[in-house]
Amino acid sequence: MAKSKAPAAKAAAKDNGAAPKAAAQPAPNGDNKPIRNLYLVDGSGYLFRAYHALPPMNRPDGVPINAVFGFCRMLVADLLDKPEVDHIAMILDAGEVTFRNEIYDKYKANRPPPPEDLIPQFPLIREAARAFNVTVCELKGYEADDLIATYARMAVEAGATCTIVSSDKDLMQLVRPGVELMDPIKKTKLGPEAVMEKFGVTPDKVVDVQALAGDSTDNVPGVPGIGVKTAAQLINEYGDLETLLSRAGEIKQPKRREALQQNAELARISRKLVTLRDDVPTPADPDSFDKRKPDPNVLLPWLEQQGFKSLLARYTGELGEATAPVAPAAPAAKPTLPASEPKATPAAPRPKSNQPFTAADYELITDEKALDEWIAEATKAGTVAFDCETDALDAQNSGLVGVSLALLDGPWGNVNSTKRRAAYVPLGHRTPAGEAQGALDLTGDGGAKDAGSLLPGQIPLKNAIAKLKPLLEDPTVLKVGQNIKYDMCVFRQLGIEVSPVDDTMLLSFVLDAGKHNHGMDDLAKLYLGHDTIKFSDVAGSGAKQVSFDKVPIDKARDYAAEDADVTMQLWAQFKPRLAHEHMVGVYETIERPLIPVLLSMEQAGIKVDAPQLRKLSSEFEKRMLELEQELHKLAGRPFNVGSPKQLGEILFDEQKLPGGRRNKNGSWATDVSILEDLAAQGHALPVKIMEHRQIAKLKGTYTDALVRELDAKTGRVHTSYQMTGAATGRLASTDPNLQNIPVRTEEGRKIRQAFIAEAGHKLLSADYSQIELRLLAHVADIASLKEAFARGDDIHAITASEMFGVPVKGMDPLVRRRAKAINFGIIYGISAFGLANQLGIGQPEARDYIAKYFQRYPGIRDYMERTKDYARKNGFVKTPFGRKIHLKYINEKAQGMRAFAERAAINAPLQGGAADIIKKAMIKLPAALTSAKLKGRMLLQVHDELLFEVPDKEIDKTKEVARKVMEGAATLSVPLVVETGVGDNWAAAH
DNA sequence: TTCCATGCTTA
DNA sequence: GTAAGCATGGAAC
């Protein structure tokens, strides 16, 4: 089996972070700077947007001006002031009638007229562009969108990026690597993921969806009865519109099938209407769109006429007074380009690089000479993407089957001018089990991992490793991987320490946490518009699945080389964004250095007392059988005790117990809160069910699973940490999850007792005390809480005392408990509903408590409001250490979704900040222990706790080092406090 | 065989 | 009320 193409992100410039290539079309006069980033402003689209977003405003002479003002403000702040904007133009519609009216005369026929006070602003936006010396383009017979499409294509072909300043959904079809939309009001960049959200398909399929769904505002007919959702589903299923129409007969739903069959032609016409032309004659070369300084003689009088005082003051300071009186609307240095008689620029043929992923181009390296040449190229290039294929999912325990490599933009020049190369080095491919030996597989294990014999045409593993080692360890060559922790693990076992590295999965995570997942398949789809070959396509699925060493070499080449190829291309998109989006610090000081630390922890594993777990398991089993008998008796008939559905039917349909509540799909809910209510009424059955569930959980999820996960080689359990699993920056632990080992109940703690220290060692647990509340006190800057933490007081008691005006001394435990629940509630983005649930009180009472809390701590309410505002405006929140967490639904229309996003926004800086702190500590700890000459090692992380395995004699010293490093991991306006415990097992240490 | 809902464990 | 992973049953395929 190969590694999973692990988790999820967005895109821009190509090549390895260096400047993009110069424009393809030489400028007419040859003295313009090359285009790097072309910004195209959709003028009328913007005007509409600004008109509705801004309150009415008037010029001194009474002319309405709000949309123009919005335009100017945006133009200056988001485009003219931004150094990355080097070329810019505003595109306008030239007239009402376009070629689309020839296709369909009713096109845009029922557009309502624009609002009255917007009409006079249309000419003013032209004036504004001229005043700021921004080129205006328009073309008779075509829409602005067609010009935008054409210029976007030209920009990409010239190796530049193009940002379309518009949020018009019709332009979403243009999104691709190098082309993105920017919402001029929200200031958010809209990439492929936004398109996916809006249309449910990748940008290249938007027109197919629009053709089916139609558009009432533009009077695009579409197919009746089909909306965007259905259209997306159909297109995703059939691939494209034509295929769908030709196979419409296969559709099961009769209504849908008939609609498609009867309206096929309408759909085709619709597609023509919505497809933007990217080959229209261009009125000007994009090179002439270079950003220029405004002419003070034009700009200043115009600003004065509009009454834009702050802009006037600013530009007077910058450009000096106007030197000559000029009529306000005089043409600027570069006049608007004529709309008539455009010079014809036929569309250039698409370069080969726009047709990526032709597997035929991937090379297969079968001899050592070819491998030497590749390694030399990679060394010269300085950046290489690589990927391991192995015979098992578990990196700890798998054999290397092959390595793929990819390069970008190297000096070779022999591969179809694509400037991309990828190759696969097969090393351990074998014949299917037994075939060569003529033996039968009688082991009954499906042939997993049985030997087979090595196929010919492969470099001996040892030789390949010897050749790859210098490259992978070369400090001057950057190795790029997707989820590179996996590959580093594989190579570490072969004696190679891969360094230095970049990880596209982590890059995606620091850039776009919260927007989407960061697995390779998702990223390839999102950023490259490409469906990667699935593992199941080459290795089969289900019982027939084979491990990767049994995959034929040619199939393996296509699959594996693609992984490296995609990784390289993703890296080229992500890496330049890092600095641009201010994420270098988080990536380079928190995430990337954590990789080797986690790898060591995973490799260390933790010892478990397997006999003890087995004993527990059989005890649990015995008790479960007893309970089942009793339950069947109580129910009056046998039933599956583990089935919530059957249980619900017995409780509420047959026994007609009161207090039944239904789940959203109509079945009876049977969770603990329901069962507890019933138990409180004196019913026996629910009590037994609760006990059964607890034991079943412990047995199924813990005792049995942990024994199963025992590594035969080490006798220990090795978890896998997922660095991109939680958007807040927390780690996630899988296979097995060691971050949710029971601790609350006595029975549960028996599981924890089975986690033990090696002979001659103890387990040391060190956990941060109240770290999220401390962060809250810090970020919200609450003096009394900060003082309480500085004094080392009981924070929940202090909260209770300040809220209810009772002394801490002799406090009723119930009062403290309420304050504690509120403190936690605050961290989770409190609601009366949630607090009421937690405390078992009514919502009005809970509301009361919250009001009281905010009355005492108005600063916390301010912080919460500030955070929500910030999230609404930016689409993300930040931890105190700069980590961004995006909130997809923060501006969602639906109240429930939005409220959820708001609570997440409040929680994320605290939870994420705590994650940052413990990560910083973890990065420092290995070196701190080594330099103190201590042999203890870090085994596990559980969000605010670190667990170490320490030689008996080093306990005290290790405790102090751990405490010091953890408490010093960050300097806040409150102290960080770490509590420690030591024991032979985890329950005793915790 | 694959996917979803339910329920339960942790910080 | 935040953030996760996993087992199970049962429907969908």
The answer to the question of residue A719 being in a domain is no
- A942, pLDDT greater than 70: yes
Look at residues A988, A926, A982 and name the one whose alpha carbon lies nearest to residue A762.
A982
| Non-local CB neighbours of A850 within 8 Å, separated by 6+ positions | A822, A825, A830, A832, A835
What does strand C contact on the protein, if contact means CB under 7 A? A 640, 642-643, 645-646, 696, 700-701, 705, 722, 725-728, 730, 732-737, 740, 821-822, 824-825, 828-831, 833-835, 837-838, 900, 903-904, 907-908, 911
Q: Nearest nucleotide by C1' from A731 CA?
A: C4
Strand B proximity list, CB < 7 Å: A 536, 541-543, 644, 648, 663-665, 667, 669-672, 675, 690, 693-694, 697, 701, 739-745, 748, 942-945
Q: Which nucleotide is nearest to A733 (CA to C1')?
A: C5
Q: Can you tell me the distance from the alpha carbon of A944 to that of A935, in angstroms, rounded to the nearest whole number?
A: 23
Same domain, A872 and A936: yes
Residue A357: band (very low, low, confident or very high) from pLDDT cuts 50, 70, 90: low
pLDDT at A410 over 80: no
Domain assignment present for residue A956? The answer is: yes
In three-state form (DSSP H/G/I as H, E/B as E, the rest C), the secondary structure along A483-511 is: CHHHHHHHHHCCCCCCCCEEEHHHHHHHH
Q: Which string of DSSP letters, residue by residue, matches A732-751?
A: EEESS--S----SSHHHHHH
Measure A663 CA to B6 C1' (Å).
9
Residue nearest B7 (alpha carbon to C1'): A671
In this complex, which residue's CA is closest to the C1' atom of nucleotide B6? A644
Taking the C1' atom of every nucleotide in all shown strands and the CA of A751, the nearest one is B9
A803 lies in the same domain as A776: no
Query: Once rounded to an integer, what is the mean pLDDT over residues A762-788?
Result: 97
Residue A415 shares a structural domain with residue A516: yes
- The H-or-E segment that residue A779 falls in is helix A771-780
**CA neighbours within 13 Å on the CB side: how many for A460?**
3
Q: What CATH number should be reported for the domain holding residue A763?
A: 3.30.70.370
Q: Is residue A557 part of a domain?
A: yes
Smallest CA–C1' distance to B11, residue: A943
- Residue ending a domain, choose from A253, A274, A295: A274
Instruction: Give helix then strand counts, H and E, for chain A.
Output: 38, 23
Closest C1' nucleotide to A747's CA: B9
Residue A870 covered by a domain: yes
Q: Which residue is nearest to nucleotide B4 (CA to C1')?
A: A665
pTM above 0.85, yes or no: no
If asked whether residues A527 and A616 sit together in one domain, one would say no
Ramachandran bin of A460, using left for φ above 0, alpha for ψ from -120 to 50, beta for the remaining angles = beta
In A124-187, DSSP assigns E strands to 135-137, 161-165, 179-182
pLDDT tens digit sequence for A573-623:
999 999 999 999 999 999 999 999 999 999 999 999 999 999 999 999 999
Nucleotide of closest approach to A664 (CA, C1'):
B5
Q: Say whether pLDDT at A545 is over 80.
A: yes
How confident is the model over A490-526, as pLDDT tens digits? Answer: 999 999 999 999 999 999 999 999 999 999 999 999 9
pLDDT score at A413 = 37
Q: Does A594 map to a domain?
A: no
Measured CA to CA in angstroms, residue A483 lies from A422, A508, A575 at distances of 18, 11, 15
- Residue A437 clears pLDDT 60, i.e. is over it: no
Task: Say which nucleotide is closest to residue A735, CA to C1' distance.
Answer: C5
Give distance CA A517 / C1' C6 (Å): 20
* pLDDT in the model for residue A322: 64
Number of domains making up chain A: 5
* CA A418 / C1′ B1 distance in Å: 41
A363 CA from C7 C1′ (Å) = 44
Residue A444, phi-psi category: left (phi > 0), alpha (psi -120 to 50), beta (remainder): left
Pick from A581, A598, A621: which residue ends a domain?
A581
Q: Could you tell me which residues are beta bridge partners of residue A424?
A: A364, A404
Instruction: Output the domain CATH number for residue A152.
Output: 3.40.50.1010
pLDDT value of residue A32: 63
Note whether A526 and A617 are same-domain residues: no
What number is the average pLDDT over the span A140-167?
89
Inform me whether the pLDDT recorded for A323 exceeds 70. no
Least confident of A81-95, A640-654, A674-688: A81-95
| Å from the A649 CA to the B3 C1' | 24
Same domain, A679 and A825: no
Question: Beta strands A161-165 and A37-42: pairing type?
Answer: parallel
How many angstroms separate the CA of A822 from the C1' of C11? 41
C1' of nucleotide C3: residue with nearest CA:
A726
Structure tokens, A308: 């834009």
Query: What is the pLDDT of chain A when averaged over all its residues?
Result: 87
Domain termination site, one of A520, A546, A581? A581
Stretch A378-397: mean pLDDT, rounded?
94
> A397 or A32, which is more confident?
A397
CATH number of residue A643's parent domain:
1.20.1060.10
Q: Are A184 and A161 in contact (CB under 8 A)?
A: no
A601 lies in some domain? no
Q: Residue A83: name the closest of A578, A584, A582, A580 by CA.
A: A580
In which band, very low, low, confident or very high, does the pLDDT at A95 lie, cut at 50, 70 and 90? confident
Residue A112 has pLDDT above 80, yes or no: no
pLDDT: which is higher, A167 or A363? A363
Residue A198: the pLDDT is: 81
Determine the nucleotide nearest to A695 by Cα–C1' distance: B8
List pLDDT tens digits, range A254-267: 778 888 888 888 88
User: What is the nearest nucleotide to A899, using C1' and CA?
Assistant: C1
Chain C bases closer than 7 A to any CB of the protein: 1-10
pLDDT at A733 > cutoff 90: yes
Q: Are residues A551 and A695 in the same domain?
A: no
Protein CA A735 to sugar C1' B9 (Å): 15
Nearest residue, CA→C1' of B1: A542
Written as six digits, the tokens of A559 are 């699959």
What pLDDT score was predicted for residue A360?
Answer: 57
Q: What share of chain A is helix, strand, coil (3-state, %, to 5)?
A: 50, 10, 40
pLDDT at residue A834, as a whole number: 94
| Nucleotides of strand B lying closer than 7 angstroms to a protein CB | 1-2, 5-11
- Do A445 and A365 have their domain in common? yes
Indicate whether A949 belongs to any domain: yes
CA of A963 to C1' of C2 (A): 27
Residue with tokens 């509903």: A833
Scanning every strand, the nucleotide with its C1' closest to A768's CA turns out to be: B11
**CATH code at position A493:** 3.30.420.10
A145: containing domain: 37-274
What's the Å distance between residue A725 CA and nucleotide C3 C1'?
A: 10
The model's pLDDT over A890-927, given as tens digits with 9 standing for 90+, comes to 999 999 999 999 999 999 999 999 999 999 999 999 99
Q: Are A861 and A850 in contact (CB under 8 A)?
A: no
For residues A149 and A206, membership in a common domain is answered with yes
Which carries the bigger pLDDT value, residue A313 or residue A636?
A: A636
> Residue A1's pLDDT is what?
43
Look up the protein residue whose alpha carbon has the minimum distance to the C1' of B10.
A740
A358 pLDDT higher than 80: no
Both A818 and A904 in one domain: the answer is no
Q: Does residue A182 lie in a domain region?
A: yes
Of the listed ranges A225-229, A335-339, A641-645, A729-733, the one predicted with least confidence: A335-339
Q: Looking at the structure, tell me whether residues A841 and A823 fall in a common domain.
A: yes
Q: pLDDT tens, A697-722?
A: 999 999 999 999 999 999 999 999 99
CA distance A546 to A528: 29
A834, closest nucleotide (Cα–C1'): C1
For residues A848 and A934, membership in a common domain is answered with: no
Q: Which residue is nearest to nucleotide C9 (CA to C1')?
A: A643
Structure tokens at A281: 């004659």
Choose from A104-118, A294-308, A841-855 the range with maximum mean pLDDT. A841-855
